[in-house]
Chains A and B, each alone.
Chain A
């Protein structure tokens, strides 16, 4: 079982603010890193699956970077909107199976 840490645990920002959170994971035997967004009363939805060191992925106002050598990933949200309010989860993998080890998540609340 991997030790996955996400920080901060929760975050309150104003609409329009940009924000970022961190996911830390063991760098040994890295295979892939998943990011999910989980809105209240809905199912988790995939944001990114990243595999390469130095990789950067973007989806609209959300982007993520990956450093597999030091074992961390950053998720950035530019110009936060109330609809971005959700829990953001990261999950690294150290083998080819879909045995995701989720971090505790960062709960983002965006105030209008």
Chain B
């Protein structure tokens, strides 16, 4: 069974640009959530999608957005990039509707903003 796949793995952008990151969950998983990891803040929740609907949203500005497609693949977009957006972005999928199932994480997309 293929794991969670995130693309691209690494990318460099400049301030003011926008970026789109992609996440393909494990086949059959309907929940996809996104996390940002920075050295100072640890792992922080961005948002979660379940069956194409945003179910939960973290405390991030509106520049951070996401969506989920009918095949459960998800994308997140960050517009007007700032230096502080440099981070590892992790996506995780799970099978169930509730949170008693474990999350399966991808290897992440490492974004550097110059």
Residues of A within 8 A of B (CB): 1, 31-32, 34, 36, 42-46, 49, 51, 89, 93, 95-105
Interface hub of A43, A45, A46, A103 (most chain B Cβ within 10 A): A43
Tally of chain B residues near chain A (CB < 8 A) = 29
A99-B90 contact in complex given A31-B99, A93-B99, A104-B42, C-beta closer than 8 Å: no
Q: How would you classify the secondary structure of chain A's contact residues: helix, strand, loop or mixed?
A: loop
A44-B105 contact in complex given A97-B50, A102-B43, C-beta closer than 8 Å: yes
Complex interface: stretch among B12-20, B55-63, B74-82: B55-63
- A60 to B106 alpha-carbon distance, docked (Å): 24
Cβ distance A66 to chain B, nearest Cβ, rounded Å: 13
Cβ distance B26 to chain A, nearest Cβ, rounded Å: 12
A43-B59 contact in complex given A89-B43, A96-B98, A100-B33, C-beta closer than 8 Å: no
